[in-house]
């Protein structure tokens, strides 16, 4: 049972149109980050070959970061009063990340696949950054923080396969 005082408190002080816009742009970020986390763990379990241990451990970091970033973006939307849908069925249906090959993969192939997933996620994050600029700078800051972290993870992975 809810009392009248609770009903009188608005979900958020942010304009509902702004809130809807934030959800529109951060929702896909959450979906792609959840896909990156699941696929990153799959890659972690199945990586083989050169630099196995370093890549195996680095993929755990990528997964942990993706989970942290997804939580950050999702909590921003929920703090503004809207729900977020990152159920596995939704993630599978809506992610922009490429499909990860099943089974064991050589480390170079694994790194390339995870970088492709990071790049797809970064494209979604950059769209959020651009669209949130005029809409809600606090939410844009969330997207900027996520981009910064993903770019760092990408760099660490790329350094394993870079020729120079």
Tell me what pLDDT residue 9 has. 52
Q: What does the pLDDT look like over 9-41, one tens digit per residue?
A: 556 676 878 889 999 999 999 999 999 999 999
User: Cα torsion for 71, 55, 156, 127, to the nearest 10°?
Assistant: -40
pLDDT tens digits along 82-91: 999 999 999 9
Phi-psi region of 51 (alpha: psi -120 to 50; beta: other; left: phi over 0): left
- Return the structure tokens found at 94: 């809506």
User: Residue 106 gets which letter from DSSP?
Assistant: E
Q: Does domain 15-158 have CATH number 3.40.50.620?
A: no
Structure tokens at 71: 């939580």
48 by DSSP, 3-state: which?
strand
Beta-sheet strands, E only, within the chain: 47-48, 105-106
- Render pLDDT for 31-84 as a digit per residue (tens, 0 to 9): 999 999 999 999 999 999 989 999 999 999 999 999 999 999 999 999 999 999
């Amino acid at each position: 049972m809810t009392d009248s005082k609770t009903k009188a408190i608005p979900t958020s002080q942010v304009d509902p149109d702004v809130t809807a816009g934030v959800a529109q742009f951060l929702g896909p970020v959450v979906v792609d980050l959840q896909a990156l986390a699941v696929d990153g763990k799959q890659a972690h379990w199945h990586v083989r070959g050169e630099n196995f241990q370093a890549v195996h451990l680095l993929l755990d970091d990528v997964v942990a970061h993706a989970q942290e970033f997804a939580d950050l973006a999702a909590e921003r939307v929920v703090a503004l009063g809207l729900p977020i849908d990152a159920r596995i069925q939704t993630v599978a249906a809506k992610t922009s990340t490429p499909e990860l090959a099943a089974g064991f993969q050589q480390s170079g192939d694994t790194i390339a696949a995870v970088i492709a997933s990071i790049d797809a996620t970064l494209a979604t994050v950059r769209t959020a950054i651009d669209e949130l600029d005029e809409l809600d700078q606090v939410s844009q800051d969330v997207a900027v923080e996520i981009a910064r972290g993903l770019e760092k993870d990408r760099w660490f992975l790329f350094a394993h396969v870079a020729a120079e």
